Amino acid sequence: MPLWNGRFKGRLDPRALRFSSSLKVDRRLFREDIEGSLAHVAMLARKKIVSASDAKAIQRGLAQISREIETGKLALDGKERLAGEDIHMAIEARLIEKIGDIGGKLHTARSRNDQIALDERLYLRESIHTITRLIGRLQKAIVSKAERYQDLIVSGYTHLQRAQPILLAHHLLSYVSMLDRDRERLEDCMDRVSRSPLGAGALAGTSFPIDRKYAARKLGLTRLIDNSIDAVSDRDVQIEFLSCCAITMMHLSRFAEEIIIWSSSEWNFAEIGDSYSTGSSIMPQKKNPDIAELVRGKTGRVYGDLIALLTIMKGLPLAYNRDMQEDKEPLFDTVDTLSGSLDIFASMLSGMKFKPVKFDQPGADLILATELADYLVKKGLPFRKAHAIVGKLVVLCIKKKRALKDISLKEYREYSRLFEKDIFRFIDVSTSLQQKKSSGSTSPREVRKAIRSWKGRLRISR
């Protein structure tokens, strides 16, 4: 019998109960639900709304229920006698079963509306801690890989076309910066997560003389949500969190895409360890980058979770509506998907190996074309004219299947009298890197500086 059944004469159709029950989903909030209830009953006792002895009985009962769920004695799988609408009612029903009618006092001055809003915020708080820790682990793995390969020169790309020579470490560290902004977004989100809705009741507050600030402090929450309607009727914090997670997954997906390309036979630049690759059921030679592909694919799930919650909330009138029960599956799925992706990505990257890129093949040194243009600019030529001259030289190389270094000084001077003997010093990938002067560039000096900086910020000891 539902705990709210007093005003009903008929019984709820079992099919309606099965359809409306969220217990199979929200049972994972049992820790947060019990934590919130312990703080709530402590506040009720402090304000003498319930007696100290009743509060102690409730607290003991809740602690016992927590152990029962942790050990599996109380499964909450929807099959036991306490199967009901949600985790809140299941725990309260078990509490009444254990300690009698005193257990019914727990819900004084509280509604399931502010109760679930609180539970989700406590869950978000823990999830943000977990995800930011995993982001840090991946950042450390990237920095370690960058340090190991800090002298490896590769081609940078735009439009998937060779652009300019860079250090692989510089490329890898760009993802460390992206992930750091992901961490900052989540930590900023935490400020809004850490606001307590408890005490808002169903929507209008309560006539009992509760102390909302005391309950919030007990839970380690920093502020109150000021308006009782707002406290129970919005899920913007959850949406913000999912948005942050979607951006992080986007960054992982881009990195995964590059790893997939790099490890292909056509590029043959990177090799994923056997522990994070799979084979083919029919083609014995295959070594597939399945883990990277799955991270790329799972990004769509997180995008879908964000859109799902936005769609759930988009037309809801104030205050609470049962539609909001559907917020948990996208929330939990995002936490599980992002946490798993971050964890496996760090392990996969740690076992990856990179191979030197050959720049001595015909056409390979065309990535130095910008260096030639800059050379002419430093001789006094406007950049647009220098760009045009070098473009004509590129056409010559492509037509004649020659490298820039194979063009004679005489030929260079046919395109511009500003070319001197020193031009051949600049047609070198190492020189190109050394010539970079701007902070945050791919010069070996700046990359070493960046590695030292990230090792300090991430507290990498070695």
Strand positions, DSSP E, 26-167: 153-158, 161-167
Question: In the structure encoding, which two tokens stand for residue 164, read together?
Answer: 């300019």
DSSP-derived 3-state class of residue 166: strand
* Residue 297: Cβ within 10 Å count: 12
Please tell me the distance from the alpha carbon of residue 183 to that of residue 131, in angstroms, as a whole number: 8
Please tell me the distance from the alpha carbon of residue 346 to that of residue 273, in angstroms, as a whole number: 12
Where residue 270 falls (left for φ over 0; alpha for ψ -120 to 50; beta otherwise) is beta
Return the H-helix or E-strand segment holding 195. Answer: strand 195-196
Residue 107: name the closest of 85, 132, 89, 134 by CA: 89
Please tell me the distance from the alpha carbon of residue 117 to that of residue 119, in angstroms, as a whole number: 6
- The CA–CA distances, whole Å, from 383 to 21, 167, 213, 390, 438 equal 68, 25, 64, 10, 18
* Residue 308: Cβ within 10 Å count: 18
Question: In the structure encoding, which two tokens stand for residue 60, read together?
Answer: 């003991």
Let me know: does 352 contact 271? Beta carbons within 8 Å.
Answer: yes
Please tell me the distance from the alpha carbon of residue 102 to that of residue 57, in angstroms, as a whole number: 8
- The residues assigned a catalytic role are 159, 280
